[in-house]
Structure 1
Amino acid sequence: MKTFAIAGLAALLATPVFAADPTGLWQTPTRSGQVEISKCGAGLCGRLVSSEGLKADPALKDVNNSNASLRGRALKGLTILTGFSGGPQEWSGGSIYNAEDGKTYSGTITMDGDNTLKLRGCVVVPLCKTQVWTRLH
């Protein structure tokens, strides 16, 4: 019995550790935002699912967009993360759209454990801001 337990422990320790999967529903730290991250081709993208504003008015539009021709599009379901490639712990080369100011920032996404993401958006390095997102499911 003891040999079996040692063999089982050795097999468990020899199993490779896989990186957490960033796909799923994430809570942002501002305005109760919820973003669903999914695979888009070989990369990652994310769309806005909910927020305080969308709960109050599901028909909210992208009124702050710096491109006037896009101000009529719905915020609910809007793709706000695009073009991220890499992995398994960090994705870069992507864009983060901020509907509050209507601007798009270059960004990186880093897994920090199974249930935490760090998103870093930059106007120009070193003018960057990092947010920590928490997994909902």
Structure 2
Amino acid sequence: MRRVALALAAAASAVALPAAASAADITGVWATGTEGGRVEIYRCGKALCGRIVDASRLRANPDLRDVRNSDAKLRQRKLKGLVVLNGFTGGPREWKGGPVYDPETGDGAPKGQLKLLPNGKLELKGCVAFFCRTKIWSRAG
């Protein structure tokens, strides 16, 4: 009886591991590598989204606005909590979606791609037509 229980426990843990290595792997807070930025990737319905949760400039002034936005109507939005990734679906290692917004430049891309790299880092690519920009993010610790 004990062997059966051990076998069942081993089988259950083997089944649980692949499930844990799904889209949930990229949810959480990521360091953007620029200006001490941190973006939280979270579930938004059946997709994944990302919002700004911290940056060195935000620690100095939590009320910072999206002043670099190319759309003058959006320049009064607060940076803290601003959604910069929207509607990413796929997995378990690559997700596609968009739009992607970069508050450092005020530019956005209608399409983006997230890719979980073998080293645990996250590659973010935003593209407008044939022009793409890539950034590598690390898990925030």
When normalised by structure 1's length, the TM-score is: 0.83
Contact in 2 for aligned 1:43/1:85 (Cα 8 Å): yes
Aligned residue in 2 for 1:24? 28
Deviation at 1:38, TM superposition (A): 0.3
Name the CA distance, whole Å, in 2 between partners of 1:86 and 1:114: 20
- 1:50-101 per-residue CA deviation (whole Å, 9 max, x = no partner) reads 1121111111001111111111110011111101111111110222101122
Name the CA distance, whole Å, in 2 between partners of 1:124 and 1:56: 36
Aligned residue in 2 for 1:82? 86
Tell me, what secondary structure is at the counterpart of 1:69? helix
**Aligned counterpart in structure 2 of residue 33 of structure 1, from 29, 37, 47:** 37
Deviation at 1:15, TM superposition (A): 2.8
Structure with the bigger percentage of strand: 1
Question: Is 1:107 paired with 2:112?
Answer: yes
Name the CA distance, whole Å, in 2 between partners of 1:41 and 1:56: 33
Which residue identity lines up with residue 116 of structure 1 in the other structure? K
Contact in 2 for aligned 1:61/1:72 (Cα 8 Å): yes
Aligned residue in 1 for 2:14? 15
**Which structure carries more relative contact order (alpha carbon 8 Å, separation 6+)?**
1
Could you list the runs of 5+ residues in structure 2 that have no partner in the other structure? none
Segments of 4+ moved more than 2 angstroms: 14-20
Name the CA distance, whole Å, in 1 between partners of 2:43 and 2:119: 17
Could you list the runs of 5+ residues in structure 1 that have no partner in the other structure? none
Identity %: 45
Tell me, what secondary structure is at the counterpart of 1:15? helix
Contact in 2 for aligned 1:85/1:94 (Cα 8 Å): no
CA RMSD after TM alignment: 2.2
Matches within 5 A, 1:19-98: 19=21, 21-98=25-102
Count residues in correspondence: 128
Structure with the bigger percentage of helix: 2
Aligned residue in 2 for 1:118? 123
Which residue identity lines up with residue 54 of structure 2 in the other structure? S
Which residue identity lines up with residue 29 of structure 2 in the other structure? L
